[in-house]
C-alpha cells in the first residue's frame, strides 16, 4: 500500500477526533451494520477459519513500526509515524505544528498536545485499542459482529460493550499475507475515523522510553489547569 504523505496538510486533529481514532467510549446510538457484511447470528456462530487465521497471525506480530494516515469523520486527514509493541503498547506521533502524541503504556492511554500544553489520560481497558493490542485478538464469544471475505480483502468487525460500549472497530487485512491494512473506529454516534498504515516493519526494537507516560507531569499539569 502506497500513500503520499507530502499531500497531507498540517491539519491538527481535535481532541474529539483523537478520541474517535482510538478512544471512543459508550453512548446511546444503535448499532449499525456496514452494508455487505455477513452477520454472525449469535455468540454460538462459528468464526470463519480464514478470519481466525488472520487474527492469530496479526496477534503473533509482537512489534511493528511504520507510517499512518488518519481520516476523520468529515474527511479531515493527517499523518505521522506509529510504533507498536504487544501487549498493550502503542505510540502515534502526528505530523504538524500541534505536535500531538497518543501513547499507550499497556495500562493507560495518554493524549498529549504540546502546543496547548494539555495531557488527557484514559484506561486502556476501556478503549478499542485494547482489542488491537492484546496478546491475542480474541474472536470468541459475541465480539465478532461481522466478517467479509473478498479476493483482495478480509474485513473483521468487532464490538465489546464491556470495553467501549456501543462503539466498534473494523479491521481490514490482506487475505494473502495476513497483513493489517487499516482499521476504522466507529463511535457511539456512528461517526467513523479510519487509520491506514503502510511502510511497516515487524520485529523491531524500541528505546525503553518509547511508550513511557509521565504520570507525575500529567497530574501536575491537570492540577494547574483546573
Q: What are the tens digits of pLDDT across the range 157-187? A: 988 777 767 788 899 999 999 999 999 988 8
Cα 24 off chain centre by: 10
Average confidence (pLDDT) over 19-46: 36
pLDDT at 71: 94
CA distances from 11 to 61, 69, 76, 175, 190 (A): 31, 12, 7, 33, 22
Q: What are the tens digits of pLDDT across the range 67-114? A: 999 999 988 899 999 999 999 999 999 998 767 899 999 999 999 887
Segment among 9-18, 121-130, 148-157 with least mean pLDDT: 9-18
**In sequence order, what are the beta bridge partners of 162?**
none
Q: Are 144 and 41 in contact (CB under 8 A)?
A: no
Q: Which residue has the cell 455468540?
A: 43
- C-beta atoms surrounding 189 within 10 Å: 13
Sign of the Cα torsion 147, 168, 11, 197 reads negative
Average confidence (pLDDT) over 28-49: 42
Cα 63 off chain centre by: 15
220 vs 207, higher pLDDT: 207
Average confidence (pLDDT) over 137-155: 86
Q: How far apart are CA 109 and CA 134, in angstroms?
A: 14
pLDDT at 45: 55
Q: Which of 72, 81, 178, 91 is nearest to 129 (CA)?
A: 91
Amino acid at each position: 500500500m502506497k500513500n503520499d504523505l507530502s499531500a497531507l496538510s498540517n491539519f491538527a486533529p481535535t481532541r474529539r477526533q483523537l478520541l474517535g481514532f482510538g478512544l471512543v467510549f459508550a453512548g446511546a446510538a444503535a448499532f449499525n451494520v456496514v452494508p455487505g457484511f455477513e452477520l454472525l447470528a449469535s455468540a454460538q456462530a462459528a468464526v470463519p477459519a480464514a478470519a481466525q487465521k488472520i487474527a492469530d497471525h496479526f496477534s503473533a506480530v509482537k512489534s511493528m513500526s511504520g507510517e499512518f494516515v488518519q481520516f476523520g469523520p468529515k474527511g479531515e486527514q493527517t499523518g505521522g509515524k506509529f510504533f507498536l509493541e504487544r501487549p498493550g503498547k502503542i505510540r502515534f506521533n502526528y505530523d504538524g505544528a500541534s505536535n500531538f502524541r497518543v501513547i499507550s503504556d499497556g495500562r493507560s492511554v495518554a493524549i498529549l498536545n504540546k502546543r496547548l500544553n494539555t495531557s488527557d489520560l484514559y484506561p486502556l481497558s476501556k478503549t478499542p485499542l485494547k482489542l488491537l493490542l492484546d496478546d491475542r485478538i480474541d474472536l470468541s464469544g459475541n465480539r465478532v459482529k461481522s466478517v467479509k471475505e473478498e479476493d483482495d480483502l478480509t474485513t473483521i468487525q468487532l464490538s465489546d460493550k464491556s470495553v467501549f460500549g456501543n462503539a466498534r472497530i473494523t479491521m481490514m487485512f490482506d487475505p494473502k499475507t495476513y497483513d493489517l491494512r487499516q482499521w476504522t473506529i466507529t463511535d457511539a454516534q456512528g461517526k467513523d475515523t479510519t487509520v491506514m498504515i503502510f511502510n511497516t516493519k515487524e520485529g523491531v526494537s524500541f528505546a525503553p522510553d518509547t511508550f513511557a507516560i509521565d504520570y507525575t507531569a500529567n497530574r501536575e499539569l491537570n492540577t494547574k489547569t483546573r
